[in-house]
């Protein structure tokens, strides 16, 4: 029960890593506020949690909307009395195009979803954490843009690299007030964002070969790392970019 009676906002909770984290955090005693654009899928995740007798609130919406971050925090306060942690997990890869061929509107859209939404989340969440005497912010980054990159992913790499910088700044600005901020950098994970790896064995095998462990992660494995960063197990960890990439960043064979 690493999050017993803690209130946690989880964005991007309708599937994949976010859904796995929602269930895992609730199993560890958290009262969870779940956000995502796809309301039907989001409510299905919430129903699974409620079926186990846990406490959950659902707030459908788009992280690209600055006011949505405020709504998530408002619901956390009204339903459960405050906010202790957040897992800002929403994101997109976007189309794979070389930098010189990238439409500026596509660039702006990816930066908005992956980086600017993180700013909106932090702006709304930090004051709520301070009201509770501190807490933990976790942002989903990527090894892409940190230890390596992939042709055609310039906007994605830039957005995720920027997210690490944002995390470091939050850690420096609010560490003395007991607010921790960390970036979680997954490797290839079996979610709908991993090209067609969940349905095509050849794609899965190729992505798996890029990792030292020679396999892709299950969403639940990344969720366990998020649980570590959100909980007091990581009480002296802040400003980090924590690789949970199965050795992707070091593998050359």
Question: Of 68, 146, 156, 174, which residue is the catalytic one?
Answer: 156
CA distances from 14 to 19, 36, 89 (A): 5, 6, 10
- Angle (CA) 186-213-180 rounded to 5° is 30
pTM above 0.75, yes or no: yes
Per DSSP, what are the bridge partners of residue 137?
86, 181
Rounded Cα gap, residues 31 and 4, in angstroms: 8
Token digits of residue 222: 């990344």
CATH architecture of 7-244: 3-Layer(aba) Sandwich (3.40)
Residues written for the chain: 253
Contact 107, 155 (CB under 8 A): yes
In the chain the beta strands, taken as DSSP E runs, fall at: 7-11, 31-36, 56-60, 85-88, 135-140, 179-186, 241-244
Rounded Cα gap, residues 109 and 244, in angstroms: 26
Per-residue model confidence (pLDDT) at position 252:
84
- Site of tokens 């895992």: 24
pLDDT in tens, the chain (253 residues): 999 999 999 999 999 999 999 999 999 999 999 999 999 999 999 999 998 789 999 999 999 999 999 999 999 999 999 999 999 999 999 999 999 999 999 999 999 999 999 999 999 999 999 999 999 999 999 999 999 888 999 999 999 999 999 999 999 999 999 999 999 999 999 887 766 777 788 888 998 999 999 999 999 999 999 999 999 999 999 999 999 999 999 998 8
Phi, psi of 98 (to 5 degrees): -65, 155
**Alpha-carbon 149 to chain mean position:** 19
Per-residue model confidence (pLDDT) at position 197:
72
Whether residue 68 lies in the annotated active site: no
């Amino acid at each position: 029960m690493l999050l017993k009676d803690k209130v946690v906002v989880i964005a991007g909770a309708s599937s994949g890593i976010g859904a796995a984290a929602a269930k895992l955090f609730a199993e560890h005693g958290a009262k969870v506020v779940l956000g995502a654009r796809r309301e039907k899928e989001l409510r299905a995740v919430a129903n699974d949690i409620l079926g186990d007798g846990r406490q959950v609130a659902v707030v459908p919406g788009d992280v690209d909307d600055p006011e949505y971050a405020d709504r998530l925090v408002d619901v956390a306060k009204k339903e459960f009395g405050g906010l202790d942690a957040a897992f800002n997990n929403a994101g997109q890869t976007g189309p794979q195009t070389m930098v010189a061929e990238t439409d500026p509107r596509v660039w702006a859209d990816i930066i908005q979803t992956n980086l600017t939404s993180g700013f909106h989340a932090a702006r709304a969440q930090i004051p709520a954490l301070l009201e509770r005497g501190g807490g933990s912010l976790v942002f989903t980054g990527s090894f892409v843009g940190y230890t390596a990159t992939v042709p055609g992913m310039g906007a994605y790499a830039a957005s995720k690299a920027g997210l690490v910088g944002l995390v470091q700044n939050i850690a420096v600005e609010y560490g003395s007030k007991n607010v921790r901020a960390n970036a979680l950098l997954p490797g290839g994970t079996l979610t709908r964002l991993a090209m067609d790896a969940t349905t095509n064995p050849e794609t899965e095998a190729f992505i798996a070969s890029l990792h030292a462990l020679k396999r892709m992660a299950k969403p639940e494995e990344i969720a366990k790392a998020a649980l570590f960063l959100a909980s007091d197990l990581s009480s002296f960890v802040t400003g980090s970019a924590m690789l949970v990439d199965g050795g992707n960043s070091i593998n050359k064979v």
